[in-house]
Amino acid sequence: MKKQLFLILFLLFSLGACAEMEARAAADSGDAIYIENKGSDTMVNLALAWAERYQDTRDGVQISVTGGGSGTGIAALLNDTVDLANASRQIKDEEVETARGNGVEPVEFVVARDAIAVIVHPENPVNALTLEQISDIYSGLINNWSEVGGEDRPIVRLSRETNSGTHVYFLEVVLRLGEKDNKAFFAQNTLLLPSSEGIIHEVRQNPNAIGYDGLGYVPHDLKVLAIAQKTGAAYVRPSIETVNSGTYPIARDLYIYTAGQPEGATREYLDWIFSEEAQTIVSDLGFVPVGALHYP
């Protein structure tokens, strides 16, 4: 009888211990909140800084941030395989149609703003260009720095690769001057580079190079050109002030897209991104902060 009682108590204890272990395992895994954030390389440092700050004060929240370009993030959104898609360009009409065909309704949030800086080597004597001159350089109509007030040197054109939202924006707004019927394209000898860091490295090494990058990525040892909207207009350097005033001509919104209206932890994280704490990080990294979020 004592043996039977002992066996029953042992089994009950074992079952209780197993249940406790299972509960702890569930708490360690099932209760963890996981948010996947993918896309724009322009935004990846900002997204990482946001994620690190947010995770520091929220137990159990894990935010995965990867780059790959705006096209990569939007492609993941179309297939509903990401919680937040970062993009340095606006989603295209055909991408929205594809998303809807997959049962996904993209929802857009402007989370920051950015100035695109046109950069050259510090030894280059050129300090300013018009948008038309930049367009002519990148389309191949201007091939020597002497044609824009510089030395008799060949121009080496640098661009982000085609999957980059920055590439698409620069093509449409600068190279094509915002004209829908303009079919200009990058000169064939333009070097396409996979990252902002790649452009910075090449400009730093080559006195003949010209490149473009988000202002937050440009180091102090490179020259940022002043840009004029057209001949005769004022030349303006990129900054938070000139972006907010609308005087710098190459500025854009930065986006996060979700599949439908965000809910739960994803919505809480987006709410925080529009907070003063998160928008201070925006300005600290050289981007331009935006106002508070208002859900429709």
Q: Are 277 and 54 within 8 A, CB to CB? A: no
Report the pLDDT value the prediction gives residue 163, as an integer from 0 to 100: 87
Q: Are 112 and 286 within 8 A, CB to CB? A: no
Report the pLDDT value the prediction gives residue 216, as an integer from 0 to 100: 85
Residues in the chain predicted with pLDDT less than 70, given as ranges, are 1-31, 292-296
Q: Are 52 and 71 within 8 A, CB to CB? A: no
Report the pLDDT value the prediction gives residue 30, as an integer from 0 to 100: 53
Q: Which domains does the chain have, with CATH numbers?
A: 31-113+253-284 (3.40.190.10), 114-251 (3.40.190.10)
